[in-house]
Amino acid sequence: MKFYLHAENPEPRLVRKLVQLLKNKGLLVLPTDTVYAFVTLAQNKESVTQIQRIKELPKNKALTLYCRDFSQMSTYVRSQGNQVFRFLKEILPGPYTLIFDAAKSLPHYTVTKQNSVGIRIVEHPLIAAVLNELDLPLLGSSLDMPPENMHDFESLAERYESRVDAVVHCGQIGGVYSTIIDVRTWPPTLVREGLGIHPEGVFHN
């Protein structure tokens, strides 16, 4: 199933359809502020398994939790202190994935063996609309294709439509992966360069 939503003001009626699919244990392909991603709800274990199957991921490979805001994020990660919080306030929302120690509220199959989890607060109107309607975080992972190929929505939809419940177009994507930062210690560690520009002089060398 394909959906086409307005890039800046996603139609509420269509957003509610996507939310209903998620509540019915669905797996979607949604655009973010960086690339397209598989998304579901954390409690949808079958859909989580489907993501791992499509991407050939090991079961202990962490997925990313997409949170609405800092308040929602705090439910799913262990507190990191004021320094980290001030740093995050400078860069979020935006194209960053932050590695945290996971809180006990997350299902075991969504975290790594080290009990870590990636967190994103995404700057995208569709993700924001879905999260506001759900009042729950999304769990996901970028598609298993090069970011530069994700600009062709019709080809992308043809590739994944039979393996997910919906593939959604909502404006153009950045086409570059997020910047990954490990904030479990201070100073934080830059894990992967990406679309997010990081402050100079903050990270471990």
pLDDT at position 205 is: 47
CA distance between the termini of the chain: 46
| pTM listed for this prediction | 0.93
Q: Do strands 116-120 and 96-101 pair parallel, antiparallel, or not at all (unpaired)?
A: antiparallel
- The three-state secondary structure class of 27 is coil
Residue-wise pLDDT for 67-89, tens only, equals 999 999 999 999 778 899 999 99
Question: Could you say which of 3.90.870.10, 3.40.30.10, 3.40.50.300, 3.20.20.70 is the CATH number of the domain covering 2-192?
Answer: 3.90.870.10
Q: What percent of the chain is modeled with pLDDT above 90?
A: 80
Residue-wise pLDDT for 7-62, tens only, equals 999 999 999 999 999 999 999 999 999 999 999 999 999 999 999 999 998 766 77
Q: What mean pLDDT value characterizes the chain?
A: 92
Q: Is 169 exposed, middle or buried (0-12, 13-18, 19+ CB in 10 A)?
A: buried
CA torsion, ordered 50, 126, 150, 167, to nearest 10 deg: 50
Q: Domain residues of the chain, as ranges?
A: 2-192
Query: Looking at per-residue confidence, does 196 or 58 come out higher?
Result: 196
